[in-house]
Structure formats: C-alpha cells, structure tokens
Structure 1
C-alpha cells in the first residue's frame, strides 16, 4: 500500500484521537498552572455595556481558578469588524458580541489552541438564511434546532411546543438541515467564509449538572445510551458489582438495539427499557468521578464545547451566552432578517433553572473533585466567564 493510501485510511481515524488527546493535554498542563487574576479592563468594559452583567458564581467554588489577563487588546472596535449591519440591532449588543469574540480569541492564545483541528461533526448549516450553527448538547441545543427549522420554513413558531424533541432530533433536522461535513470541501470553504456563524457557551459546571439531572437522575431510561455508558463503570469500579447495563446500544427515535453483558442481543422500545436495566442509583459525585476517570471517553453531552465547536479555528460572528440566551437569539434572528413571527421558544413552565441548584448539588462534592473538574474544563470555564444575572432554564 502506498504512503498516500495509508494517509487516506488513517486520516478519518486520527482526527477524533487528536481532539480527545488535546483535551487531555490541556487537562494535564493546566493542573500545574498558577492562579491568575482577570484584568479589570475586561470587567469595566463589559460591565459598562449593561448593569445586568456579572461574573458567574463570584467568590464561590464555581469561579474559575485561572483568569485571563490581557490589557493590550482593543476591545471596543465597532460593528464593521463583524461585517454585519448594525441597523437592526443595538450598537450596545454588537459591542458585547465583539468583546466576547475577542475574549475567546485571547483564551485560545493563552492555551495555545489557535491551530486546533477543525471539527465539522456538530456544525449545522441552514442554507436558506445562510446560517452555520454549532450544536452543543445542554446549551439550548433542542430549541436552537427548532429555530433552524423555523428559518428553513419547516416549522412555524406555533409549532414549537407541539413538536416533540425526539421528532426534532431524529426526523426533521436530518431531513431539512445538513451538517457541514456533508458538503464538499469547496462548499465548506464557501460556508465558513460567507455564512453567519453562531455558537453558544455555558459555564461547564452548570452544564455538567444539567446533563446529570436530565439524562441520568430524572428520566434515565429516555437516554439509555448515556445511562449504560456511565452505569457499567460505576457498578464495576465504585460499587464492586458486575456490570448490569447493556454494553452496546444503538439508539433510534423510539427504540434501542444492543447487547447485554451476557452477550445476548436485544431490541426494545423505550417503554420496555427499565426491564433491561438494573435498579442502580448513580449519584452526581459518581458521575463527576466517571468523567475524571475516563478522560478519553468524552460523550457529546459532556465534551468541552471548545472541542465541539472549535472557536479557536472558526471565527464565529456571534458567540451567544446561556445566561443571555433569549436576548442573543432574538438579536441574531434580527441580523438574519428572519420573519418577525419567529421567536426563541418560551421556557417550560415549572422547570427549575439549573443555575439555582448549583450549591445544592456541588455543596456535597469533595473539593478535590471540584478542583479536578475545573482543571479539566479550564478552557470552557474561562470562555464562559462573561454571563448574565438572569439564568435560563436548561
């Protein structure tokens, strides 16, 4: 086999290895990094744009240990740097967007991530509005997919509540919105150069809690692939028991196929999944320990968003924040000249914001685990530094 043929075979296999290894390297290197203090310039410039802007969990265990300092950047360049019209949205909001972009770039430089390999697996392209959106689980992923379908003319705002999340993920998005990797190389270059590029960030500790509450604690059997991945490790390593969850699962919209530890294959609909799974409670501490003990087994639900969206490689036009989710989404829709009837979906009534539960859940976690998690997610933690007081229901 020629060298070129070897390269062609190995290239698609090496990319995920490179991305995961990069995460692990950052995790190891930042563990010995000395604490730094964030520049007062960052705070003054961002805070001057609105009284509702604060720093997440100030003075608590959730504040980043490693703050970025840079007083040399010109933070308040005007909207022409975004190459977007400022007539539809306020200059103040565009300035906030520019500050976020500049801040993320500087974090990339700090961690020497400017040459990160481009990942296209999570980049959705809505051609009608010329929008590229990076999908990240537990950062408004489902609702933004609803918006993409609205922009594509598939759904109306009145359909958002009626159409279930499973239909969004398994039916409508695959049918009507393409991934960037489905385009040719020339087409990808055109999209990256000419389309409006959007990603959202969220405090990673809050995101991890949201994953645990939604995928493991409250309704685990709706997400058997995650429960199985985490559950078998917890049973064998922390409970001293034989693994009892399926060792392999292929998920469909309303059913799953897989293989049990005994080697027996199975197929079942979601309603019958509880019969296949052992009655094992996985605590939040065990979930965090699983992540720390398996740095090479990132699932998209807890993989760092900087790895998923590669903002150190892609020059995103807008970097939205989970804390200002509705404001950012509505302004982005204005920039896209979307139908005024199209709005960000209303939050579910009665749903408790994850941000309000941080102390309750993390208050029982040993400090050494929190320190290691913060180190492992150091890049995400710094990029999510600027947030709003008003949290968003996860």
Structure 2
C-alpha cells in the first residue's frame, strides 16, 4: 500500500518552489530595469527582418568564410562576450513551424527522396536572430545628432548659406532628380547613394535586403556574392523616379508616406577628395564611355587637342588623357552645366540627395565608415541579415589634396570651393583654408 509523502516534505517542496519563483521574478525585473531601451541605459532588442526568415544560395567555392573577420585589436567587453554567447544558441531558433523557401514539406518527403540524386541543391539554415546586450555608444548617437543638427540648421531660413534649390519644396523636385533614392519596402529603408562614397557596397546591401536579384530562384545572402557587373544595374534598384510608372498620380503621395515612415540614410565624403577620386577612377583608367562623353570635350577645350583619338585605347597608347587641371577647368566652365547637368560622379551631394527637403535619419561619412556602417545596420535592425563588406580602403585621402591641387591656380581653387561650398558646410567639412589662400 502506497502512502502519501509526509506533510513536511510537501511543505518543503512548495516553499522551495515559491523561493525559485520569487528569485526568477526578481531577476527578470532587474533585467528589464537594466536593459529596457526606453530608460536609455543600453540597447536591448531581439530583432528579425520584417519579412521573416530568408534563404540564400551557398557561398561560392573558395569563399567559405565571406563574413568579415572580427577586429582582434579591440579589447572584448564582458557584455560583448555575453552577446556572442547568447547568439551562439540562437542560430536556427526561428519558429520551427515556418517553412524555409525551397524546403520540402513533410508530406512530400518520400516523393522528393527519389529525386535527391537528380539535384545537388542545398538548403541554407535560417538566419540567426541576434540579441544585443551592449548599447550603441553614446559617442555614436551624439555624432549622428550633431550631423543632423548641422543640416537642419543650414537648411533653415535663418541660415546665411544659400545655394540653388535650397528653398524649394519636395513637390518641386523633378522626378528625374529623385533617381538616387533607393527604396526597400521589405525593411522600410530609403538609401540615397552618392557615387564615390562606398555606394557599390551599399548597393550590394540593398540588393540583398530587397531580394531583387535571384540565382536559381534563391536571393543572394552575402553582399560580396552579388556579381560586380550587376551592382549598378538600375533595374535592380527601385528608386523614387520609378514611382510614376508604377503608381501614377499617387506617386508623390506615396513618396511622402515612405519618407515619413521609413528610415532614410546617405553617406557623404570630403567634396574635394571625392572629386580627386572621381577623376582617378574615370580618367586615369581606360573607360570608353567616360572618354567619349567627357574626356574628348576636356581635351578639345582645355588640352590643346583639336582632334583627339577616337577611342580610349588609342588615347592611352599615345599617352593622351585629360589632366586633373583640365578636369577642374571643365567643372568651372559655365558651358558645362548649360549643356547638361553634372555627371553623378561629380555632381554636388546636396543635388543628389536633397537634404533640405528630406529629413535624413542617418548621415554617414566615408571617413568614419566602419563605425557608421555598424551603427546604421543596428539601427535598421538588419545586422542579423547582412554585414557591411570589408573592402580595400580608397587610396585617395585628404592628405593628398595639396599635391593634386599644386598646379591649380588659387583663383580656380576658390571658384571650385564656391561651387561645392554647400556640400562642405551642410555635411560638416572644414573649409580647406590652406588650399584656398597663398
């Protein structure tokens, strides 16, 4: 005959259970107090993409570790160790009831088993979720606030800075001038790309997030896997200037809704260094298109070549190419803008992204690219989906400015500054006094 456990044992177990319950509740309350985002002590969130889990193709052979390697120079903190520990156990913890695209249903398992030998298709596990226990550094938050305040202040009516288009409304911007605003509806992001400011890698990011490019029916997961020749293909990027064809008379209204609700960002660069980079990329390398459209004009007007070679190959073989001085003369020539607007690679950044009409949430700079990219991806809550690609640093640096401008007359330098003054001031770049005065 079984006897019930003594009353004292039952009371002891009940008391022990209550103690554990109380301790667990206290621990959860403390955790909430410490890490609750609204308190501002830190940034604690569990995040996924709006669209749920994604799949992607396997990385190509020879690229088994496409993700950037961690910065071993940084001293790890206690909370960063916790980040890594927690996230280690969250890989593949998406809702098990959700089916990964391309994954066979259980009812089809037997049928598909016979076809396995016919296909070597592999399925990539669901992307992991991330928990961030470490806060975004206050220094980075303040940096962004300072940059946004700078733009807002100079765009206000009280500012003495004046430049073409400053006071027009968003509705007054022609559609053709909105072609640099890339929209990702899946994650609620708008990116205004500026050529020569890491835009190739940010376009890679946007392609991965929007899943606008598929291989074997599966979207890319690693930005570095996106074929280089397709990155700048305009058909892969849904921009504001395409709204008219899709939405007709409702396009402007929808743009304003998205501008209000989506997170908007751009990246900028020292204006003079950007010009040097554009010249080096387009005129010091064999580029047939830029040679015919721009270099021939520069050579005829400013290079004393009445009949320059017809192709860039012939020109380079003969040692003929426009100098940096010819390039600056071309930019300062009033006839250049009369014939056509500046090419996007040297058009002023404010003309590409309209910061006085669009209230950007994030202003990144090439000079602080690593920190800004990591900060932005956390703000967007997509750092569980993509990482900013590592790349070779652009060799054009500010310290080279004096060498590049050595043969440019001081008067031309001052005219050039006036041409790009709005970019310098809006985005917080110091006036290059040493370059402008003897």
TM-score range, shorter chain: 0.5 to 0.7
Q: Say which SS state the counterpart of residue 240 (structure 1) adopts.
A: coil
Listed as ranges, the matches of 1:241-256 within 5 Å are: 241-244=305-308
2:313 pairs with one of 262, 268, 274: 274
Contact 2:205 2:388 in 1 (8 A): yes
1:220 pairs with one of 275, 279, 286: 286
Residue 6 of structure 2 aligns with which residue?
Answer: none
1:375 Cα deviation (Å)?
Answer: 0.7
Residue 236 of structure 1 aligns with which residue?
Answer: 300
- 2:208 matched to 1:169? no
1:242 Cα deviation (Å)?
Answer: 2.7
| Separation (CA, whole Å) in 2 of partners of 1:99 and 1:355 | 22
Unaligned runs of 5+ in 1: 1-84, 247-271, 388-394
Residue 180 of structure 2 aligns with which residue?
Answer: 122
| Separation (CA, whole Å) in 2 of partners of 1:379 and 1:108 | 10
| Separation (CA, whole Å) in 2 of partners of 1:232 and 1:335 | 45
Residue 8 of structure 1 aligns with which residue?
Answer: none
Q: For each residue in 1:271-308, what CA deviation from the matched residue of structure 2 results, as whole angstroms up to 9, or x when unmatched?
A: x8625888422111110111101244411111101011
Residue 117 of structure 2 aligns with which residue?
Answer: none
Q: For each residue in 1:249-279, what CA deviation from the matched residue of structure 2 results, as whole angstroms up to 9, or x when unmatched?
A: xxxxxxxxxxxxxxxxxxxxxxx86258884
Q: Say which SS state the counterpart of residue 319 (structure 1) adopts.
A: strand
Question: Structure 1 length normalisation: TM-score?
Answer: 0.62
Q: For each residue in 1:322-346, what CA deviation from the matched residue of structure 2 results, as whole angstroms up to 9, or x when unmatched?
A: 2111211211111111143622111
Contact 1:146 1:155 in 2 (8 A): no
Higher relative contact order (CA 8 A, sep 6+): 1
1:321 Cα deviation (Å)?
Answer: 1.2
Q: For each residue in 1:8-57, what CA deviation from the matched residue of structure 2 results, as whole angstroms up to 9, or x when unmatched?
A: xxxxxxxxxxxxxxxxxxxxxxxxxxxxxxxxxxxxxxxxxxxxxxxxxx
Contact 2:179 2:239 in 1 (8 A): yes
Residue 107 of structure 1 aligns with which residue?
Answer: 154
Moved more, 304-313 or 326-335: 326-335
Residue 180 of structure 1 aligns with which residue?
Answer: 240
Change (3 A) 1:329 1:229: same
Change (3 A) 1:138 1:283: same
- 2:263 matched to 1:196? yes
1:384 Cα deviation (Å)?
Answer: 3.1
Residue 368 of structure 1 aligns with which residue?
Answer: 411
1:86 Cα deviation (Å)?
Answer: 12
Q: How large is the Cα RMSD of the aligned pairs?
A: 2.7
1:243 Cα deviation (Å)?
Answer: 4.4
Residue 263 of structure 1 aligns with which residue?
Answer: none
Residue 144 of structure 2 aligns with which residue?
Answer: 97
Residue 106 of structure 2 aligns with which residue?
Answer: none
